[in-house]
């Protein structure tokens, strides 16, 4: 059972998936920092200083605690956080789209190159000979060269 589990872990798919999760988590933190510290302040500046992270719709007003000077008991819907999350999602989705698009283009290029090489390798000898004869006839009016080529091929 341990050998099977070890073989399962050592397969490329599991290790690739684990690597993708770790890189994805790190990338998510980078995007969060980008949105929270660069994009949203710029948007806030363009919208007369609106801070989206603190935007909320208050359902029930809270009371001010005299000792801590903090609001307590407030019930609110924080839609500003949702706006930040949507912007983060759009950035991540766009980056993933670009990466997948580049990978697909590279894969298509490689597949096309392999197909062309395969076609070149698969040319039968008789077809190659006929192609060579055709090329000789196009380039020369001398039937003797063609006859010599035919004799050499046999």
The full 3-state SS of the chain, as one line of letters, equals CHHHHHHHHHCHHHHHHHHHHHHHHHHHHHHHHHHHHHHHHHHHHHCCCCCHHHCCEEEECCEECCCCCCEECCEEECHHHHHHHHHHHHHHHHHHHHHHHHHHHHHHHHHHHHHHHHHHHCCCHHHHHHHHHHHHHHHCCCHHHHHHHHHHHC
Pair 32, 100 in one domain = yes
How many structural domains comprise the chain?
2
Q: What is the mean pLDDT of residues 13-35?
A: 85
Pair 20, 71 in one domain = yes
Structure-model confidence comparison of residues 150 and 70, the more confident one: 70
Pair 83, 151 in one domain = no
Structural domain harbouring 128: 123-154
Q: What is the pLDDT of residue 136?
A: 77
Pair 18, 73 in one domain = yes
Is residue 152 classed exposed, middle or buried when 0-12, 13-18 and 19+ CB atoms within 10 A define those classes?
exposed
Pair 146, 106 in one domain = no
Structure-model confidence comparison of residues 31 and 137, the more confident one: 31
Pair 73, 99 in one domain = yes
Which pLDDT band holds residue 12 (cuts at 50, 70, 90)? low
Give this prediction's pTM: 0.55
Residue 14 maps to which CATH number? 1.10.1200.120
What is the DSSP pairing of strand 57-60 with strand 75-77? antiparallel
């Amino acid at each position: 059972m341990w050998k099977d589990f070890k073989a399962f872990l050592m397969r490329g798919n599991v290790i690739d998936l684990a690597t993708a999760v770790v890189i994805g988590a790190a990338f998510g933190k980078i995007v969060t920092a980008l949105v929270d510290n660069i994009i949203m302040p710029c948007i806030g500046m363009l919208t007369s200083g609106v801070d989206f992270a603190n935007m909320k719709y208050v359902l029930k007003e809270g009371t001010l605690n005299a000792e801590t000077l903090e609001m307590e008991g407030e019930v609110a819907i924080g839609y500003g956080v949702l706006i930040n999350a949507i912007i983060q999602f759009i950035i991540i989705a766009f980056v993933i789209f670009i990466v997948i698009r580049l990978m697909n283009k590279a894969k298509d290029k490689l597949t096309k190159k392999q197909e062309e090489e395969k076609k070149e390798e698969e040319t039968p000898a008789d077809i190659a000979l006929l192609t060579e004869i055709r090329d000789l006839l196009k380039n020369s009016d001398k039937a003797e060269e063609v006859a010599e080529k035919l004799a050499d091929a046999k």
